[in-house]
Amino acid sequence: MTKNLRMIDLFAGCGGMTVGFAGEGFRSVLAVEWDKAAAATYAANFGEKHVIAGDIASVPDEAIPETDIIIGGPPCQGFSNLGLKDIKDPRNQLWREFMRFVEHSRPKVFVIENVDRFAKSPEFAMLLAEADHGALAEYELQHAVLNAADYGVAQRRKRTIVIGSRIGRIDLPAPTHAKDAGENSDLLPWRTVKDVIGTLPPHPESTDLPNSRFAFFGEEMPGVFRGLDLHIRRTPTSKSLDRYSFVPPGGGRFDLPDELLPNCWARKPTGTTDVMGRLRWDMPSVTIRTEFFKPEKGQYLHPQWEAGEWVEAYGKHRSDPVRSVDRVISHYEASLIQDFPADYRWVGTKIQIARQIGNAVPSGLARAIARQIKPHLVSQAVERAERELAFA
Ligand SMILES: C[S@@+](CC[C@H](N)C(=O)[O-])C[C@H]1O[C@@H](n2cnc3c(N)ncnc32)[C@H](O)[C@@H]1O
């Protein structure tokens, strides 16, 4: 019965959300994504025929099929209290598009994912107004901020999830994992960085993706890459390497000796604590963003670090070069922390693939949502089948 659960994925990216829903038996019948490389990654994993690699606004009403569920995260423009409450405001275009799909497809359920502050945005106020007396009046909305780590993903990533249902209230899924899940807890302990990247080769050989190309949507693109193809390293300067060596697991720019601080940070003694940070083996990672390959953007240094030489002039240990891994995480490691399957196929340049990875919804979180919604849709489908049989 679940094989018949049809879904549309809007703003589909490279397919993180679809991975989770497909894992619960949902079948994507339409995906819309305007970034060609991201759409190609989606197509490489789920088939090209049902993917529209274009602007959502260019999809005609007639091309919108009936489905059980629409999933997607329309980008959110801003968080000021001013403006945007007007549905006709041109900046609300993407939200209007999402609602146009809901009106034409009439799914039983829709799911919106967005940034954690989403509930404070004018777009959210607009969504509530539409559910109250507008285009979404049939739907009952539930929403909450969920942390992917609480659903078995080795990453602390908070997202607002909205479930809209016209087949009765559907609550957000309860956590399955917890930071302090003791022996008597029903919950499992948070999964850690070690659980997902602990066995990979510590020193990737290549600095580049393999030299291959494949045609999607009539256009040749770099790819298709999978697995260790993405396990690539960078070539940092000796100054950068020097900096990395002083950052222990869980540490960041405040561990750098003053002499090694870049000027911009030296002038800014507070704030942005996790830049030039190092992951910890025994914890879920911080949020993987689109520029995870730049250590200056967050806590993205490889977690393997053991204290080595004591540097008297700085009053600090630098890393032991043999027992430490002084590099940023590879694309492959980032994709696993983002909960993509180990053999997921990827299309695009290094920067495009990093953007796809960083933008995605971790599949474990999406799957928990799918698992919560599925019984509601299946019972509806069973009732419908029984009705049809009775009339046959
Ligand atoms: C947060 S990402 C989606 C992530 C995706 N749900 C996943 O789990 O992998 C939002 C996506 O919306 C796409 N997008 C933005 N504006 C669009 C438009 N007008 N038409 C189609 N796609 C659009 C962006 O290219 C981006 O990939």
Average pLDDT for residues 156-165, to the nearest whole number?
97
pTM: 0.94
Residues 159 and 251 in one domain: no
Residues 220 and 185 grouped into a single domain: no
Q: How confident is the model at residue 368 (pLDDT cuts 50, 70, 90)?
A: very high
Higher pLDDT, 86 or 277: 277
The pLDDT tens digits for 90-101 are 556 888 899 999
Same-domain status, 267 and 298: yes
Residue that wins the pLDDT comparison between 314 and 270 = 314
**CB 34, CB 74: distance < 8 Å:** no
Residue 376 has a pLDDT of: 95
Most ligand 1 atoms within 8 A of CB, residue of 110, 287, 359 to mutate: 359
Nearest to 73 by CA among 124, 46, 112: 112
The pLDDT tens digits of the residues spanning 9-48 come to 999 999 999 999 999 999 999 999 999 999 999 999 999 9
Range 120-149 average pLDDT:
92
Cβ 301 under 6 angstroms from ligand 1: no
What is the CATH number for 31? 3.40.50.150
Instruction: Decide if 264 is catalytic.
Output: no
Distance 35 CA to ligand 1 centre (A): 7
Residues 176 and 271 in one domain: no
Min mean pLDDT across 84-93, 120-129, 348-357 is at: 84-93
Q: Mark whether 298 and 167 lie in a shared domain.
A: no
Centroid of ligand 1 to alpha carbon of 10 (angstroms): 7
Do 110 and 258 sit in the same domain of this protein?
no
Indicate whether 102 and 241 sit together in one domain: no
Q: Is 161 in the pocket of ligand 1 (CB under 6 A)?
A: no
Mean pLDDT of the chain: 92
Same domain, 336 and 369: no
Q: Give the structural domain span for 262.
A: 196-357
Domain identity same for 58 and 200: no
pLDDT band at 1 (very low <50, low <70, confident <90, very high): low
Please tell me the residue having the least CA distance from ligand 1 atom 3. 13
> What is the count of structural domains for the chain?
2
Please indicate, yes or no, whether residues 177 and 269 belong to a single structural domain of this protein: no
Which pLDDT band holds residue 73 (cuts at 50, 70, 90)?
confident
Same domain, yes or no, for 264 and 330? yes
CATH number for the domain that contains residue 219: 3.90.120
